[in-house]
Amino acid sequence: MKQAQLSKIELCKLKAFEHHPYKVQDDAEMEALTESIRENGILTPLLVRPLNNRKGEYEVISGHRRMCAAEKAGLNTVPAFVSELNRADAVIMMVDSNLHREHLLPSEKAFAYKLKLEAMKQQGKRTDLTSRQNVDKSKSADQISETDSGRQVQRYIRLTYLLPELLKLVDEGKIALTPAVYFSYLSAEQQRWVHEEMKRNDCIPSVSQAYRLKEESQAETLTPEAVAVIMGKEKVNKKETLKIPIQRVRKFFPASYTTAQIEEEIVKLCETRYRTVITLQQ
């Protein structure tokens, strides 16, 4: 591969990476980045590859947030390293350059891992993600992720089989990874039944309920009626609960206090603070 060349490229010539899995949010962080670029310019060049089309366009491999911020800041050109990469190499570099980000959504990881796996297959590299019994399991984490094990990578990839409505709930933290993985084995129609039941009863299926749904689906006995029965057996997840590790608050209360007494005192403190705030606002 030739050494990447640093160039100034017109923003109108840049295209987002095809099927880019990472979301570019127009939030406070984006506003701060835009202001920084407006004042100091782009300090870290983008990484792009030429598309070799008639328009002379480039595909962004790394730097989608910087590209968006540059547009908001009113720049016409951006500094970028131009590298002659094939599609598979570009995918792997694009995925790896973003996996270090702090706040990755489960959906972002899911589609990123899936893209990288497909790219590695094109390169002819072996992974244990499709034939785990025939390949050393320890290799998968090194090949796909430096932080997640091969099994965990598999679990994330399963999320790509979820309906958008369910995947959104995973990203919002309302559905945990394990039940989400179980849901991924349901057909699209069966997932719709589950989502409709969740909306109807304002509930989130527990891990055991999600596993039961998967079992019924694989046994080809899952129906809308069965979904209602399974999800109606447990109500523990119907209301949101707040859990605080007891060691975080134990030191603030007498040693003789039970957890129930501590909980009651915390609620009283919250009520007192609430009344104080209301009084100050009047």
pLDDT at residue 227, rounded to an integer: 95
Three-state SS at 127: coil
237-273, pLDDT tens digit by residue?
Answer: 445 567 788 888 888 888 777 777 788 788 778 877 7
Which of 131, 133, 157 has the alpha carbon at shortest distance from 144?
157
The larger pLDDT score, comparing residue 53 to residue 222, is at 222
Look at 126-135, 200-209, 210-219, 269-278 and tell me which has the smallest mean pLDDT.
126-135
- Who contacts 267 (Cβ-Cβ below 8 Å, separation ≥6)? none
- For residues 44-62, give the mean pLDDT: 90
State both tokens at 10. Answer: 């017109």
Q: What is the largest CA-CA distance in the chain?
A: 78
The larger pLDDT score, comparing residue 236 to residue 265, is at 265
Cα–Cα separations (whole angstroms), residue 165 to 67, 157, 170, 197, 256: 29, 17, 9, 13, 47
Whether 278 has a pLDDT exceeding 50, the answer reads yes
The backbone torsions φ and ψ at residue 267, rounded to the nearest 5 degrees and listed phi first, read -60, -40
Are 113 and 153 spatial neighbours (Cβ–Cβ below 8 Å)? yes
Q: Residue ranges per domain, the chain?
A: 5-85, 101-159, 175-232, 246-281
Provide the β-strand partners of residue 81.
Answer: 6, 47
Whether 116 has a pLDDT exceeding 80, the answer reads yes
Are 50 and 87 spatial neighbours (Cβ–Cβ below 8 Å)? no
pLDDT at residue 125, rounded to an integer: 55
pLDDT at residue 14, rounded to an integer: 94
Question: Could you give the percent of the chain with pLDDT greater than 90?
Answer: 49
- Mean pLDDT score of the chain: 84
State both tokens at 4. Answer: 């990447």
Strands 14-15 and 58-62: parallel
Three-state SS at 267: helix
Residue 170 CB neighbour total at 10 angstroms: 21
62-111, pLDDT tens digit by residue?
Answer: 999 999 999 999 999 999 999 988 889 899 888 888 777 767 899 999 99
pTM reported for the whole predicted model: 0.69
Whether 166 has a pLDDT exceeding 90, the answer reads yes
51-60, 91-100, 210-219 — which one is most confidently predicted on average? 210-219
d(CA 42, CA 264): 53
pLDDT at residue 4, rounded to an integer: 76
* Architecture of the domain made up of 5-85: Alpha-Beta Complex (3.90)
Strands 5-10 and 77-82: antiparallel
